[in-house]
Chains A and B, each alone.
Chain A
Amino acid sequence: MFGPFRATNPLSGGLLWKVPWRLSRMQKLRQRERLRAVDNVVATIDRALAKQGETAKAIERWKNEMPAEPEMLPKDKYTIFDRKEKKYRKGIHKLPKWTRLSQRLNPPGF
């Protein structure tokens, strides 16, 4: 998976300077790591507040609405709903600032 002879898109396919239509394996790995990092932050805050017997509205809302990284479907991790696309899905890397946003939910049925 790693090392000088790993099978990445530029190494196996040659020139790659456009934004590809899908994420590479490494991009997906880093995306999962980012999702888990956010899950960890929320869990840490929740644990610290619970020790004091308190809770915050934003935390409760997040826990009720947002799926954690292991609960998410690969489809929702790496793609996003778009009504203009064929089959209504496009890569999440087409979303501006996608590495610093929490985009986890999509319309049901799409």
Chain B
Amino acid sequence: MAFFKITLLRSAIGLPRKSSGVLQALGLRKRMRTVYHPVSPQVAGQIMRVKELVDVSEVEEPLSKPEMRQLRKPDPGFYIESAISR
């Protein structure tokens, strides 16, 4: 099943109330928040209302919040050796 990956890039401050309402309905409360919604004409219509504010891509599976956090995490640059069992 395909999903829309929607990220809020620009805030709706100062825009008509309708745009902030659509963002609330999509679950976008802060900038850089990413949400996943199944591909459907209803969601497409919602995205069209706020197309100037969001970035959209199509993905196969939605990622959970910890998984998205893991993707953002930089490489620590070291690894811990485990003790050899004797």
- A residues contacting B by CB (< 8 A) are 34, 37-38, 41-42, 44-45, 47-49, 51-52, 54-59, 62, 97, 99-102
Q: A48 vs B2: C-alpha distance in the bound complex, in angstroms?
A: 8
Inter-chain contact B52/A59, CB cutoff 8 Å: no
Inter-chain contact A45/B48, CB cutoff 8 Å: yes
Contact with A along B42-68 (1 / 0, CB 8 A): 001101110111111110000000000
- A42 touching B39 in the complex, CB below 8 Å, given contacts A51-B2, A97-B14, A100-B10: no
Instruction: Give the interface residue-count category, chain B.
Output: 20 to 34
Inter-chain contact A59/B39, CB cutoff 8 Å: no
Give the residue among B47, B48, B49, B51 with the most A Cβ atoms within 10 A: B51
Inter-chain contact B56/A44, CB cutoff 8 Å: yes
Distance (whole angstroms) from the CB of A18 to the closest CB of chain B: 22
Q: What residues of A have a CB within 8 angstroms of the CB of B40 in the complex?
A: 54
Inter-chain contact B56/A57, CB cutoff 8 Å: no
- B residues contacting A by CB (< 8 A) are 2, 4, 10, 12, 14-15, 39-41, 44-45, 47-49, 51-58
Inter-chain contact A55/B58, CB cutoff 8 Å: no
Distance (whole angstroms) from the CB of B17 to the closest CB of chain A: 14
Inter-chain contact B47/A41, CB cutoff 8 Å: yes
Q: A62 vs B41: C-alpha distance in the bound complex, in angstroms?
A: 14
What are 7 inter-chain pairs, A to B, with CB distance below 8 A? A37-B55, A42-B48, A45-B56, A47-B58, A51-B2, A54-B40, A55-B41
